[in-house]
């Protein structure tokens, strides 16, 4: 199994003015890295999940996520948005966007990732470190240490 997140899955200047466009830009990275086999199919799964309940949380965070038959392995992608993207949080747009992709039948792995990520994201120091990260490798190292305990 590959790493959950790699530098190729990090965009420190994520384009997109709405959640669909921003998410699609991250999904493109998953497709290029072989983590998603059908871009449109996976986008449909994300939109269906988003329709159930918005995935924005306080602190400027969006966490679109879905299980899908088109996901080859559990994956986390990260984008930092300069202008912010509305993911439905009461406190406004998200500038830190995490896309969690999980394979169908992959057990509870993506929920463990989501829970661990959410626990870290309540810490201001973690959010600040993500906002201040100078390189994609800085983000990968921070997530590996703080979220995955590596």
Q: pLDDT tens digits for 71-116?
A: 999 999 999 999 999 999 999 999 999 999 999 876 676 678 778 8
Closest CA to 98 of 130, 74, 62, 134: 62
Which CATH number fits the domain that encloses residue 35?
3.40.930.10
> What span, in angstroms and rounded, lies between the C-alpha atoms of 103 and 140?
21
Q: Please confirm, yes or no, whether 65 is among the known catalytic residues.
A: yes
Q: Which of 11, 24, 77, 28 is nearest to 50 (CA)?
A: 24
In the block, tokens 């921003």 appear at 22
What value does the mean pLDDT of the chain take? Answer: 92
In a domain, 61, yes or no: yes
Pick the more confident residue, 15 or 105. Answer: 15
Residue 38 lies in a domain: yes
Q: Given 19, 29, 35, 65, which residue is catalytic?
A: 65
139: in domain: yes
Report if residue 48 sits inside a domain: yes
DSSP per residue, 83-134? EEE--S-TT--EEEEEEEEEETT-TTHHHHHHHHHHHHHTSHHHHHHHHH--
Predicted confidence (pLDDT) per residue in 52-82, tens digit: 988 999 999 999 999 999 999 999 999 999 9
Residue 1 has pLDDT above 80, yes or no: no
Is 126 domain-assigned? yes
CB atoms within 10 A of CB 145: 12
The domain in which residue 107 lies consists of 7-146
The answer to whether residue 90 sits within a structural domain is yes
Give the whole-angstrom CA distance, residue 111 versus residue 28: 22
In a domain, 1, yes or no: no
Does the predicted TM-score (pTM) go above 0.85? yes
Residue 2 lies inside a defined structural domain of this protein = no
Please state the domain count of the chain: 1
């Amino acid at each position: 199994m590959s790493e959950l997140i790699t530098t190729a899955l990090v965009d420190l200047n994520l384009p997109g003015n709405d959640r669909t466009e921003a998410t699609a830009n991250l999904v493109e990275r998953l497709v290029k890295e072989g983590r998603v086999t059908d871009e449109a199919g996976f986008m449909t799964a994300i939109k269906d999940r988003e329709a159930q309940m918005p995935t924005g949380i306080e602190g400027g965070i969006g966490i679109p996520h879905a299980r899908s038959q088109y996901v080859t392995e559990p994956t986390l992608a990260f984008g930092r948005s300069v202008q912010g993207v509305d993911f439905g949080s009461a406190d406004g747009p998200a500038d830190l966007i995490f896309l969690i992709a999980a394979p169908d039948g992959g057990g509870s792995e993506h929920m463990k990732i989501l829970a661990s990520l959410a626990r870290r994201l309540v810490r201001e120091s973690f959010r600040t470190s993500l906002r201040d990260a100078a390189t994609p490798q800085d983000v990968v190292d921070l997530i590996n240490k703080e979220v995955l305990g590596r």
